[in-house]
Structure 1
């Protein structure tokens, strides 16, 4: 995602949340996070409009309010993959200018005409909705206000039916508007159309914001009877209302809610300030590489420098970046402390046991899932991350034979480990491989993917001038899935395609079985589908290569994925929880405290083979995730779940239909329970231990494949 832009988004069908705009391009994997700069390697995304917070209201408390009800459903207009972090780093050839959008062949574009045949039809629907709104009053829904206490089940069902009928239409105009805008962000007409669609959304959201509050204000006996009502069950709203009613114990009086709303706005100032400083105000020094050549350093190109084979360039980028953050450490620490204190205040005001419970309870996730993830990973570190760091040290030393006493530093953690292998995939080859890779999931699922790639034009394939960067999956209940790509003919490109098609197929299956109120699935479950398909592709590619060099590349890529998604995100979650608990215990979050805590946890995870570079303690100050609320752990849990599901399906221990039922489930069941139905229990340590075992096995495999790549022998003492 571009540095200063927040956007409506979501992956497939789900809640649109206020997310942190990306501060830099990261690698294709939303998880890679060299400092996690780019990603709220996390939800899907946010509402676009002037005045929308530059960081989450939620990837992540995770919705803008605790219950996940009507307003949450409205935000399900589109969901994108954590686009921010799925940015392909390849650069277009300077000698070949990108084509204008008007020059792109129809067959290389997504089928927006399947939504509206013409822009005039889109405009006419916006006009019709504006007329329906009657100046923002939305009388078809306003007539229910103040009646729910006496309306009974039939009245509530009538309200929800009217709400979702209108919401579906608003979702459609939003999807069309943002798809058109994202393919040519410089087109004023497309900007205007998107802006009008967003205005309708905000008008409707504001006019219906009373509904959840009025529902949770029902007397307890009435609320219980409403959820259990046969009429509500027949209309398909039982679980939906049950989730809304979860907020009852944590909802205050009308006066209290008003005070929290006002305080929340004031307490968001530190997060907004961080966004402005981080996204717009910082200026970084130019850096020199090993040949003395000067390079620009920005948040957007930082990861490219860190992946350079030029060690001096990596070191200069690392120190140059953190030099700027270090010069502002006091301000940045205060901003982060403000964000954490907001979470602590809100959790206490709403009578949660703590911030952790307040973050997990809306989706029915036990706090033990979070804590056992951290505990299990910590117990594995000597055999996983520490072992990996030792291997990385050997392989990088083998590439620097002139250096006798090679010391691994933090600026070496993203350097290429193996010689370049030229594996290329044309887009046509990539889509064929992706279709073949999903064969273990059965013919029906394979046909969904095949039709989307070959017939229904789900994908906007290539770069063009002014097209949004990155990759995402989008759509809503009444549209097909849409995948934005900027395809590059390399391993990263094909993996991104498989990932986004995983999201899109998930959405397609959810749409085929769930009503609109259950179309949304939380980020906790969303990344399971995408990383599952990456695992299937990995198996297909591994079976097709013939040389050790190609195997090394694939094994190394898989290690990078697990390291970035599972171990890295758990490390961030570990820090985030300790920081939050310190604030809850009234420990001041001073720069010294935060730097010491972050340095200690970083050292715990990476192990003794990496030097304790002092700059790393400043990394806490630049990670947008920390201005949200205990959210990134979900990337680790998703990968653990998808890895176990994929292994079991491929081994024949789990019928593919059991996994597909998870995808079909959408948001109709709490995510932990949905995974348990397929045999993956994240309330146990089993899935976390299994992926730690897998990582260790891959380290051993790469160690064996690279046995010939040894550092120079130690010098013998002279006689």
Structure 2
């Protein structure tokens, strides 16, 4: 039986080196004390920024430096805690860092309202009077876009004080969904009685035994359906909150308010939904193929996740995976590969699982640190994909931070997943070019198709539902459980087509989706996946100019608006072209997978 090692037993070479952030824990503790003192100093700068350009620069630099020091301390504490969540010392570090976030937020809460209290002309006059502020012009331009939607200081204070009230519906959903719901006992593939849970549900839906999938599906929804009216109340309240905040801030809709946070116009959303709707026939073809390959007389919604191919005979040690990653990413050029190699060589990756280590994987760090990657390595193809995905994030961070000043050294959430998913696409292409085993090729193709289905189609379906209920609520419609289930059931049937049975339970799927409380977040999964597919095709064309355009996107950070950054990379996300390219890739790979899979049967 494989034993999970204690943190102390993990070879040093497989752990990340955090001494480049702080030399030791004592230095971190000293930094915390300095940040607390610095926060007190910054708080006293309130009311000083508008007297001259020099004062605006001085105050702005003080606020930015405070946040910069806070970010460094927060990253160190988070990484230390994540490497062993059972370590009491690092639990305390994380708690102290989290508390310090609130302290700094309070100390600087006055800054943006004071800037926005200036008219556009007054602010520009201050900037023009101080040459050092020229490098911050875009910062102030972006901030200035919030001026029409910023209320008076007393009104802003009132809204801020009500934030806990506004968050109540999401928190109530979270408590119900994560803690209070009790799921029944079901049987696994071996006939063992197991208590159903959210995590186990996903595993059982991938079972090759139809009865196991059906039982898990019906058991899960039997619980959610008991509370569907409660979930309707929490979701309706959340939607009303979004609509209220949009109204009081003078936005035309909740969608406009949410998208404005990333400076993304509504046309991006509308183009996504319209183009996806025009290509539902491809999803219908894939669903029909799934029915055929599974050999079932009826395909149900609970049959959409079970694998269509067996696990491939591919496994990689971590060292082998590093070699494969470098080969797959070589198409991005020697500089990119050299930076990936540096990540491998400089202990920027915490590789193996140990007791107490945070699960999953992520890329972390901040402007003044290296990018860091947390993994929980398994010798599998999935782990190779995870490594390449997180390396995409880390290279995005590296290129941004080494090519932009601090004020532009981060990037919008709207573009954050594009670099990582582009890397996944490059790995898929590499595997399809180097693997000749039909079983392996079918597995890789099916993984891509399922990812496309789950991201572009499913997330756009969510986006349609989300926008519909917001618009209906704004028009005065009561969002009852029956009303939402009626629309969701019909929407789901339209997306998946006639080859799948519209199980009545699926009409209540909205009850269990936490993303509907995220205020127009889900569409970005779909736009990001599609953009990554298109960008990978541009890179693989062999055109050096297209590769350079992609690397320039990685370097841009927040120095321009997200859509402008993407246009420079070669993708205009206000137009359907990038989506059309993605759907053509899906169609081509669906055709090849269909031929391979049927020959394997």
Higher relative contact order (CA 8 A, sep 6+): 1
Offset, 1:458: 1.3
Match of residue 362, structure 1, among 257, 261, 264: 261
Which runs of structure 2 are paired with 1:223-234 in the superposition (5 Å)?
Answer: 223-226=123-126, 231=131, 233-234=133-134
Offset, 1:290: 5.9
Q: Which residue of 2 aligns with 1:546?
A: 436
Q: Which residue of 2 aligns with 1:64?
A: none
Match of residue 254, structure 1, among 134, 153, 161: 153
Relative to structure 1, the CA distance from residue 586 to residue 228 in structure 2 (aligned partners, 3 Å threshold; closer, same or farther) is farther
Offset, 1:279: 1.2
Distance 2:356 2:67 in 1: 30
Q: Which residue of 2 aligns with 1:386?
A: 284
Is 1:146–2:47 an aligned residue pair?
A: yes
Offset, 1:202: 1.7
Q: Deviations over 1:189-211 (max 9, x none)?
A: 11011212222222111111110
| Structure 1 SS opposite 2:325 | helix
Q: Which residue of 1 aligns with 2:379?
A: 489
Offset, 1:688: 1.0
Match of residue 450, structure 1, among 330, 341, 352: 341
Is 1:688–2:579 an aligned residue pair?
A: yes
Distance 1:345 1:218 in 2: 26
Is 1:377–2:271 an aligned residue pair?
A: no
| Structure 2 SS opposite 1:363 | coil
**1:228/1:238 contact within 8 Å kept:** no
Match of residue 103, structure 1, among 9, 12, 21: 9
| Structure 2 SS opposite 1:587 | coil
Match of residue 157, structure 1, among 29, 35, 57: 57
Question: What is the count of residue pairs matched by the alignment?
Answer: 600
Offset, 1:707: 2.6
Match of residue 610, structure 1, among 500, 510, 535: 500
Distance 2:283 2:75 in 1: 41
| Structure 1 SS opposite 2:500 | coil
Distance 1:353 1:416 in 2: 44
Q: Deviations over 1:499-537 (max 9, x none)?
A: 000000100111101111111211211111101111111
Q: Which residue of 1 aligns with 2:425?
A: 535
Q: Which residue of 2 aligns with 1:425?
A: 316
Q: Deviations over 1:1-60 (max 9, x none)?
A: xxxxxxxxxxxxxxxxxxxxxxxxxxxxxxxxxxxxxxxxxxxxxxxxxxxxxxxxxxxx
Runs of 4+ aligned residues of structure 1 deviating over 4 Å after TM superposition are 226-230
Which runs of structure 2 are paired with 1:466-477 in the superposition (5 Å)?
Answer: 466-477=356-367
Is 1:621–2:515 an aligned residue pair?
A: no
| Structure 1 SS opposite 2:495 | helix
**1:552/1:702 contact within 8 Å kept:** yes
Structure 1, unaligned stretches of length 5 or more? 1-94, 398-402, 711-719
Q: Which residue of 1 aligns with 2:112?
A: 212
Q: Which residue of 2 aligns with 1:18?
A: none
Is 1:395–2:293 an aligned residue pair?
A: yes
Q: Which residue of 2 aligns with 1:514?
A: 404
Q: Structure 1-normalised TM-score?
A: 0.81
Comparing both structures, which one devotes a greater share of its residues to helix?
2
Relative to structure 1, the CA distance from residue 160 to residue 268 in structure 2 (aligned partners, 3 Å threshold; closer, same or farther) is same
Is 1:277–2:176 an aligned residue pair?
A: yes
Match of residue 570, structure 1, among 460, 467, 475: 460
Is 1:338–2:229 an aligned residue pair?
A: no
Is 1:599–2:489 an aligned residue pair?
A: yes
| Structure 1 SS opposite 2:261 | helix
Offset, 1:610: 0.7
| Structure 2 SS opposite 1:483 | strand
**1:289/1:312 contact within 8 Å kept:** no
Is 1:176–2:44 an aligned residue pair?
A: no
Distance 1:656 1:124 in 2: 44
**2:439/2:600 contact within 8 Å kept:** no
Relative to structure 1, the CA distance from residue 285 to residue 525 in structure 2 (aligned partners, 3 Å threshold; closer, same or farther) is same
Q: Which residue of 1 aligns with 2:589?
A: 698
| Structure 2 SS opposite 1:113 | coil
Q: Structure 2-normalised TM-score?
A: 0.97
| Structure 1 SS opposite 2:373 | strand
Relative to structure 1, the CA distance from residue 230 to residue 600 in structure 2 (aligned partners, 3 Å threshold; closer, same or farther) is farther
Q: Which residue of 1 aligns with 2:167?
A: 268
**1:264/1:342 contact within 8 Å kept:** no
Distance 1:188 1:291 in 2: 39
